[in-house]
A = this chain, B = another copy of it.
Amino acid sequence: MSTVSKARPGGRSARIQEAVHDAVRSLQASSSRDAITVPLIAARAGVTPSTIYRRWGDLAALLSDVAADRFRTPESPAETGSLRGDLLAWAAQFIEEMGSTPGRGYIIDVVAGDSTGANTGACVNYARSALKEIFGRAPDAGLRDLEDALDRLVAPMMYRIIFDSDRIPSGYSTTLVERYLAAHPT
């Protein structure tokens, strides 16, 4: 959430936030990126443009909040019965979702409108949580350093998606997981 945003769960503020987020998502599903404007979002959400400006500051900050929410995955990573299997499944899904054209667009939205670092930080925490859950349940996981796993697994995927997305080799997530497990055998 951006600096200006302050939602009391269940209150009027939360209802406005939900209506505005819904409006953005529905416009994103039907319109090109350049066609989405604050007045259009406001009209669809049934609020005034100034409500949006007061709460989010600008369009980029609102798009960053909405995009960060998309990366908050409530489901647990798939369970396959082994650490290797869980990591392979999770990393393959990560690169498939985040590396898709809309996925990359949402990553860029998160980054571009995040003046406080809250939304980018939240994305790192989602990845930390998923890895922590995988490490916590695998009987063969041993003691695992989450930050080291971020460096070796998440960082290369994110870097390639953002900076080099046309050249990601097939099987890239598998390469990273195998390299990680070779460095930290079970």
Contact = CB atoms under 8 A, between A and B. Distances in A.
Interface of A: 108, 111-112, 117, 120-121, 123-124, 150-152, 154-156, 158-160, 162-166, 176, 183
Nearest to A164: B124
Contact of A160 (B108, B155, B156, B165): B155
A170 B151 CA distance: 15
Contacts of A112: 108, 111-112
A103 to B, nearest CB: 14
Contact of A158 (B120, B155, B176): B155
Most-contacted residue by chain B among A111, A152, A162 (CB, 10 A): A162
Contacts of A121: 163-164, 166
B164 A159 contact: no
Contact of A151 (B120, B156, B162): B156
